[in-house]
Amino acid sequence: MGKVIIIGAGGVGTVVAHKVAQNPDVFTDILLASRTLSKCDDIAAAVLAKTGTSLKTAKVDADNVPELVALFNDFRPELVINVALPYQDLTIMDACLEAGVNYLDTANYEPIDEAKFEYSWQWAYREKFEKAGLTAILGCGFDPGVSGVYTAYAAKHHFDEMHYLDIVDCNAGDHGKAFATNFNPEINIREVTQKGKYWENGQWIVTEPHEIHQPISYPNIGPKESYVIYHEELESLVKNFPTIKRARFWMTFGQEYLTHLRVIQNIGMASIVPIMYNGVEIVPIQFLKATLPNPGDLGENYTGETSIGCRIKGVKDGKEVTYYVYNNCSHKASYEETGAQGVSYTTGVPAMIGAMMFLKGEWKKAGVYNVEEFNPDPFMEALNIHGLPWHEVHGLDLEV
């Protein structure tokens, strides 16, 4: 049905490669590309051994538009699945426009020299993609991604108006390392050390990092201390569902993890400001990344599971109702299937499903869109089929 290029050969790229290969009726020709060709070749060999599907591989610099355009023109994909770094979103979108290729990513653009998370840069491409007759699907991981689809599904089937939205993200896994991040350390540390922010009564409320926290009980896991942080899907969800009065994003962190973070910040290793060392300019957080465990190597001994969902309160037929929809994902099962841990799995599977939705014509319209702007029903059905089954609870006391 369709040719796709996957850009990025980390943990998420590993999962996407395995999942597209499992669906040859939809993905007829697959190319995996990144800056490091050997990583692509290793993933392709693992995919072939697991699924019997052969992937093409290529070397490409995702910061280089002409290089990307040359690759796109040579392979002629219908869709690029971008699971590279968020810094590279705009160059890949530029290349897609020049080569006439559709686009999908899992995280919004952020500039490399500033820890700033917002969709304005990518939303500015809407008219360009409309004029080109191309589709760009933004934020099609889990959060952002499934969290937006969950919200759209709730709005369509369970609410006349949604008033309160809490996205709750728990990783109750144990990888046995003293300190490690579950995805790219540079992006992860930038994300969780910035100020918190949530939406309430038509405005953004800014908090100090980890200022608001409390225990939240997660299915099959129990209570875990959870912290309000800013997450990018809040920006698009309050825009696309204007009846929402308050929207927050909660994430769990262990005390040991937070202690490491504080030390990293206090000694300046979380800084994105370049410094000179022995006559060479380095960025402290990039140097730190090189010393930390590779997130793609955590899966083998990872135990426990993740639990991510949306807790929503609003009105249906004049009555106040509550709705909780979530998925629990096993790190061990994720590794056995794809060779990657659960955090990579929960991002990679939705990216594949979003690509599937596009190729099947379910999510296909010219312009730039966040996932909640499409019909959620076929995506929700696909989650149950492809490894991320969801559960729903009605009438739960959702005070968090």
In a domain, 376, yes or no: no
- Same domain? For 62 and 31 the reply is yes
Q: What are phi and psi of 259, to 5 degrees?
A: -65, -45
What's the number of domains the chain is made of?
2
Q: Find residue 72's DSSP bridge partners.
A: none
Comparing CA positions, the residue from 173, 214, 180, 194 lying closest to residue 342 is 173
Q: Answer yes or no: do 59 and 155 share one domain.
A: no
- Domain membership of residue 358 (yes or no) is no
* pTM score: 0.92
Burial letters for 16-35: b for 16+ Cβ neighbours within 10 Å, e otherwise? bbbbbbbbeebbebbbbbbb
Q: What is the pLDDT of residue 295?
A: 65
Q: What is the pLDDT of residue 252?
A: 92
The answer to whether the CB of 134 falls within 8 A of the CB of 77 is no
168 and 93, same domain (yes or no): no
Does any domain span residue 158? yes
Count Cα atoms within 13 angstroms, Cβ side, for 122.
Answer: 31
Residue 290's domain comprises 146-340+390-394
b/e map 332-343, b = 16+ CB within 10 Å: bebbebbbbbbb
- Alpha helices, H only, the chain: 11-21, 37-51, 65-75, 89-99, 120-123, 126-132, 146-157, 185-193, 233-240, 255-266, 284-291, 331-338, 342-359, 377-385
For residue 95, being part of any structural domain is answered with: yes
Write down which residue in 138, 163, 184 finishes a domain: 138
Co-location of 112 and 153 in the same domain: no
Q: What is the DSSP letter of 86?
A: G
Residue after which a domain boundary falls, among 138, 156, 171: 138
Task: Return the DSSP state at 195.
Answer: P
Same domain, residue pair 254 and 121: no
Please identify, among 107, 138, 169, the residue that sits at the C-terminal boundary of a domain: 138
- CA 57-59-63 angle, to 5 degrees, is 130
Residues 92 and 174 in one domain: no
Regarding whether 200 and 285 lie in a shared domain, the answer is: yes
Given this model, what pLDDT does residue 297 score?
66
Listing DSSP states for 329-373 in one string gives EEHHHHHHHHSS-HHHHHHHHHHHHHHHHHHTTSS--SEEEEGGG
Distances in Å between the alpha carbon of 89 and those of 64, 85, 104, 339, 397?
11, 7, 10, 26, 39
Residue 275 lies in a domain: yes
> Residue 364: inside a domain, yes or no?
no
Q: Give the span between the Cα atoms of 44 and 41, in whole angstroms.
A: 5
Residues 61 and 192 in one domain: no
In a domain, 356, yes or no: no
Same domain, 49 and 180: no
Asked if 119 and 108 count as a contact pair (C-beta separation under 8 A), the reply is yes
Judge if 19 and 123 occupy the same domain.
yes
Residue 327 Cα distances to 39, 168, 282, 307, angstroms: 30, 11, 40, 6
Distance of CA 87 to the CA centre of its chain: 14
Closest by Cα among 344, 300, 297 to 13: 344
C-alpha distances out from residue 376 to 75, 139, 145, Å = 31, 14, 11
Asked if the structure places residue 400 within a domain, the reply is no
pLDDT of residue 202: 97
Domain of 94: which CATH number? Answer: 3.40.50.720
Together in a domain, 22 and 117: yes
Alpha carbons 134 and 342: distance in angstroms, whole number: 32
Three-state secondary structure call for residue 161? strand
Do residue 192 and residue 326 come from a single domain? yes
pLDDT of residue 115: 67
Q: What is the CATH number of the domain that holds 187?
A: 3.30.360.10
Ordered per-residue pLDDT tens for the chain, 400 residues: 699 999 999 999 999 999 999 999 999 999 999 999 999 999 999 999 999 999 999 999 999 999 999 999 999 999 999 999 999 999 999 999 999 999 999 999 988 777 677 899 999 999 999 999 999 999 999 999 999 999 999 999 999 999 999 999 999 977 766 666 655 666 667 677 788 999 999 999 999 988 999 999 999 999 999 999 999 999 999 999 999 999 999 999 877 776 777 777 777 877 878 888 888 888 887 887 787 777 666 657 788 999 999 999 999 999 999 999 999 999 999 999 999 999 999 999 999 999 999 999 999 999 999 999 999 999 999 999 999 999 999 987 766 5
